[in-house]
């Protein structure tokens, strides 16, 4: 099952927009539109994570049984996480990529770069792109996403003491519980860690550029010495999803058993 989890994470990662793979697909004529590719990635993630849970819980009679406190279809946190949050993370990532590409092109065309500093700026951009497209960082992210599920079998800690679709009456994990622990949760962690990795790359890019002797204008109208357009890169993180989508994303990591325990909300 652990090997299967790695396999599914690799599928999600390989469907991301990696420049070298994308160029190959373009040459072969199979790239298609970006919007279609993003929707396919989101659909593939749902089919890999949520659909097997539904099938396994139906087979075990744990999809909507009133005999247990939290059947699968009433576990709102898990359903929102897999049906809403995972597609949001994939779609928003594509929006950020488009915004950053536009900013980089605008930066290269701006008057802040002189002929002497252009090689340094291009070297920083090439290094950042090279790290973005390398397989090793994402492989490490995949391993980091899977390890907690291997060493900590029950990742939903607040499920302890409540009858739910994760566990059989004997206390052992149900087939759906195993799939959630070794496939769904690592895939969700992997997508979150990819966002952290992208934030790190953008921060590293800005830090490296700040050390280059750019042609800055203190009296520039943007009140940022002519670099005000770079703030759009920061806004991309908050504007890549609507407030409603961000609210659902936060809701997806809120343990639903709180309501099952009748705590005041």
DSSP sequence for 80-101:
HIIIIIHHHHHHHHHHHHHHHH
- Give the model confidence (pLDDT) of 109-161 as tens digits: 777 777 788 888 888 888 988 888 888 998 999 999 999 888 876 655 555 56
Nearest one of 52, 42, 39 to 4, comparing CA atoms: 52
User: Given phi > 0 = left and psi -120 to 50 = alpha, else beta, which region is 225?
Assistant: left
Predicted confidence pLDDT, tens digits, the chain (265 residues): 545 554 455 445 544 544 444 444 444 444 446 778 888 889 999 999 999 999 999 998 888 877 788 889 988 889 999 999 999 888 888 777 777 777 777 777 777 777 788 888 888 888 988 888 888 998 999 999 999 888 876 655 555 567 788 888 777 888 998 999 999 999 999 999 998 898 898 889 888 888 888 877 787 777 777 777 777 666 666 555 554 555 555 555 545 544 444 444 3
What sign does the dihedral 216-237-18-192 (CA atoms) show?
Answer: positive
Place of tokens 């969700």: 188
Residue 228 DSSP code: G
Domain membership flag for residue 262: no
Domain membership flag for residue 250: yes
**Number of other residues whose CB lies within 10 A of the CB of residue 237:** 15
Domain membership flag for residue 74: yes
Domain membership flag for residue 231: yes
Domain membership flag for residue 107: yes
How far is residue 194 from each of residues 30, 92, 202, 210, measured CA to CA in Å? 25, 12, 12, 24
For residue 261, what are its two tokens? 């325990």
Domain membership flag for residue 247: yes
**Domain with 116 in it:** 2-255
Domain membership flag for residue 264: no
**Number of other residues whose CB lies within 10 A of the CB of residue 90:** 23
Structurally, the chain folds into a number of domains equal to: 1
pTM: 0.73
For residue 119, what are the contacts with CB-CB under 8 A and spacing of at least 6? none
Domain membership flag for residue 260: no
């Amino acid at each position: 099952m652990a090997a299967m989890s790695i396999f599914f994470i690799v599928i999600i990662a390989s469907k991301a927009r990696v420049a070298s793979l994308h160029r190959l697909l373009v040459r072969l004529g199979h790239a298609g539109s970006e919007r279609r590719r993003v929707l396919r990635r989101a659909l593939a993630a749902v089919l890999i994570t949520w659909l097997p849970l539904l099938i396994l819980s139906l087979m075990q009679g744990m999809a909507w049984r009133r005999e247990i406190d939290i059947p699968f279809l009433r576990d709102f946190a898990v359903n929102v996480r897999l049906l809403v949050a995972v597609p949001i993370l994939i779609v928003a990532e594509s929006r950020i990529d488009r915004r950053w590409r536009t900013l980089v092109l605008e930066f290269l065309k701006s008057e802040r770069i002189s002929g002497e500093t252009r090689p340094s700026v291009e070297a920083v951009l090439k290094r950042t792109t090279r790290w973005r497209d390398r397989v090793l960082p994402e492989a490490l992210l995949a391993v980091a996403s899977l390890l907690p599920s291997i060493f900590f079998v029950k990742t939903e800690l607040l499920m302890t003491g409540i009858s739910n679709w994760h566990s059989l009456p004997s206390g052992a994990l149900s087939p759906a519980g195993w799939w959630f622990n070794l496939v769904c949760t690592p895939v969700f962690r992997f997508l979150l860690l990819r966002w952290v990795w992208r934030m790190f790359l953008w921060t590293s890019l800005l830090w490296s550029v700040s050390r280059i002797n750019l042609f800055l204008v203190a009296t520039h109208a943007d009140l940022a010495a002519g670099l005000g357009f770079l703030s759009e890169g920061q806004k991309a993180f908050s504007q890549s999803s609507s407030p409603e989508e961000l609210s659902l994303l936060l809701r997806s990591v809120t343990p639903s058993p709180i309501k099952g325990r009748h705590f005041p909300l």
